[in-house]
A and B are shown apart, each in its own frame.
Chain A
């Protein structure tokens, strides 16, 4: 099973590397959206410092959501998804591999870029560390929950915006905990409670989200 996982991840990474612009778009979107907010609320440093955690987190959420259509659509279009469904291997493993590759491609760059963007908002250093940790814990959850939405809307009309409508309410706990952690750190309080709950959400998502994704894929490819 580990070999299967490895080969699925390797395949997805290879395919993504051949079209690097797809992946880069999500990351660039993240950067642009974060940079838009100062234009909206004004360049006053105290205000920006106050809204920074929320802004970075919301932008990460939106960027993660926009990249979701890459997850299954290409495979669905050329028929390889159907092949994955009829293999004797457990579908959950294949799904986990695809979501893991997706996170490596879209989640990890967000985590890496976050400190750079936090500097734009004059975030203090310890808050920045918590920001990176919260994103590192939260972006896999976003990928997993987003994969449920992506699988459900495969082949449906208006899939892009519909995925957003389905998935954003489910993202809200992650957003609350993630932005709350950074807020707490910025205010000098202990953020470990938030981070531990984020970790719990991650474990819960890992344990429970693979089944709905697999079920939704089977429904979509009947």
Chain B
């Protein structure tokens, strides 16, 4: 008898029930799209609600509670979105690379789908970080764009995300696309520190006027709290968005399966 795949082994079969063997909980319990789909559906509303609540609290702290900055006035308040978005953009890339690694190592369909689901959200946060960074730059540095080390690294990260999405879109077979993009994500995650340090070097060597983005060395406690709350809000949003997106991907990829037809019929 052929070795059953990890996914098949976790699905409840009629023989399990007939023999009455207690099914041991396995780490691959939810690695089959069919079992993960309803779980994700249940999780999305909670994470979305958390994101909304934390976002509201964070914005309240950021806009009303945190004091006006001595040097930058009220223009600094954009950091509550900018910094959290930048943190998330980097965090999501690492998580994406993790799922890419899982996809290559364990060859489960869902890992590849998860990596694919995370990429657009990551790209979005990278873009938000760049955009808000620009908006911050205009009143404080007097220019929309400056080749600061971190902004430049963020731009390159955006290109890495685009590369991932483009490679995935260019390959027809979904699982092959997952695996190729997974290799790219792993190569990228190794390269991100190299890129960051070389850009930092390049920037410090070529720096003319000192536009120190390492601002707020002594940050008021409320500012820091606001940033942390916003970071968590974005994190909850990321989870909600990625789970919702992975549900769509599951339905699309598994459209030939019976359970999807059942689901479509039950939804009317």
Which residues of chain A have a CB within 8 Å of any CB of chain B? 148, 152-153, 155-159, 162, 165-166, 168-170, 172-173, 176-177, 180, 184, 197, 201, 204, 208-209, 212, 215-216, 219-220, 222
Give the total number of A-B pairs whose CB atoms are below 8 A apart.
78
Q: Is B104 an interface residue (CB 8 A)?
A: yes
In the complex, which residues of chain A have a beta carbon less than 8 angstroms from the beta carbon of B198? 172-173, 176-177, 197
Q: Is B86 an interface residue (CB 8 A)?
A: no
- The DSSP consensus for interface residues of chain A is helix
In the complex, which residues of chain B have a beta carbon less than 8 angstroms from the beta carbon of A152? 167, 180, 183-184
Tell me the nearest residue of chain A to B200, going by C-beta. Answer: A176
- The DSSP consensus for interface residues of chain B is helix
In the complex, which residues of chain B have a beta carbon less than 8 angstroms from the beta carbon of A184? 205
Contact residue among A156, A172, A208, A209 (Cβ-Cβ distance under 8 Å from B167): A156
In the complex, which residues of chain B have a beta carbon less than 8 angstroms from the beta carbon of A158? 170
Q: How far is the CA of A177 from the CA of B205 in the complex (A)?
A: 11
9-residue interface stretch from B122-130, B154-162, B224-232: B154-162
Interface string of B159-197 (1 = CB under 8 A from A): 110110011001110001001100110111011001100
Contact residue among A165, A170, A197 (Cβ-Cβ distance under 8 Å from B191): A170
Q: Is B202 an interface residue (CB 8 A)?
A: yes
In the complex, which residues of chain A have a beta carbon less than 8 angstroms from the beta carbon of B201? 176, 180
Q: Are B170 and A219 in contact (CB under 8 A)?
A: no
Asked whether A180 and B205 contact (CB < 8 A) given A162-B167, A222-B176, the answer is: yes
Q: Is B199 an interface residue (CB 8 A)?
A: yes
Q: Closest approach, in angstroms, between the C-beta of B213 and any C-beta of chain A?
A: 19
Q: Are A148 and B187 in contact (CB under 8 A)?
A: yes
Q: How far is the CA of A27 from the CA of B190 in the complex (A)?
A: 31
Closest 4 CB pairs of A and B: A173-B198, A156-B170, A169-B159, A166-B163
Q: Are B195 and A173 in contact (CB under 8 A)?
A: yes
Tell me the nearest residue of chain A to B184, going by C-beta. Answer: A152
In the complex, which residues of chain B have a beta carbon less than 8 angstroms from the beta carbon of A170? 187-188, 191, 195
Other A-B contacts than A169-B163, A220-B180, 13 sampled, CB-CB below 8 A, are A152-B167, A153-B167, A162-B167, A165-B166, A170-B188, A170-B191, A170-B195, A172-B198, A173-B191, A180-B201, A180-B205, A212-B187, A216-B180
In the complex, which residues of chain A have a beta carbon less than 8 angstroms from the beta carbon of B179? 219
In the complex, which residues of chain B have a beta carbon less than 8 angstroms from the beta carbon of A157? 170-172
Q: How far is the CA of A187 from the CA of B111 in the complex (A)?
A: 51
Q: Are A215 and B104 in contact (CB under 8 A)?
A: yes
Total interface residues in chain B, CB < 8 Å? 28
In the complex, which residues of chain B have a beta carbon less than 8 angstroms from the beta carbon of A172? 156, 195, 198-199
In the complex, which residues of chain A have a beta carbon less than 8 angstroms from the beta carbon of B170? 153, 156-159, 162
Tell me the nearest residue of chain A to B199, going by C-beta. Answer: A176
In the complex, which residues of chain B have a beta carbon less than 8 angstroms from the beta carbon of A176? 198-199, 201-202
Q: Are A180 and B202 in contact (CB under 8 A)?
A: yes
- In B98-134, the 8 Å CB interface with A consists of 104
In the complex, which residues of chain B have a beta carbon less than 8 angstroms from the beta carbon of A162? 166-167, 170
In the complex, which residues of chain B have a beta carbon less than 8 angstroms from the beta carbon of A215? 104, 183
In the complex, which residues of chain B have a beta carbon less than 8 angstroms from the beta carbon of A165? 159, 162-163, 166
Contact residue among A153, A169, A197 (Cβ-Cβ distance under 8 Å from B160): A169
11 contacts between A and B (CB under 8 A): A148-B187, A156-B171, A159-B170, A162-B167, A169-B160, A169-B163, A170-B195, A172-B156, A173-B198, A176-B199, A197-B198
Contact residue among B160, B162, B180, B186 (Cβ-Cβ distance under 8 Å from A219): B180
Q: How far is the CA of A176 from the CA of B206 in the complex (A)?
A: 11
Q: Closest approach, in angstroms, between the C-beta of A18 and any C-beta of chain B?
A: 31
Q: Are B190 and A166 in contact (CB under 8 A)?
A: no
In the complex, which residues of chain B have a beta carbon less than 8 angstroms from the beta carbon of A173? 191, 194-195, 198-199
Q: Closest approach, in angstroms, between the C-beta of B203 and any C-beta of chain A?
A: 9
Q: How far is the CA of A135 from the CA of B183 in the complex (A)?
A: 27
Tell me the nearest residue of chain A to B168, going by C-beta. Answer: A156
Chain A CB within 10 A, most for which of B104, B163, B172, B191: B163
Q: Closest approach, in angstroms, between the C-beta of A219 and any C-beta of chain B?
A: 5
Q: How far is the CA of A157 from the CA of B187 in the complex (A)?
A: 21
Q: Are B184 and A166 in contact (CB under 8 A)?
A: yes
Q: How far is the CA of A172 from the CA of B160 in the complex (A)?
A: 12
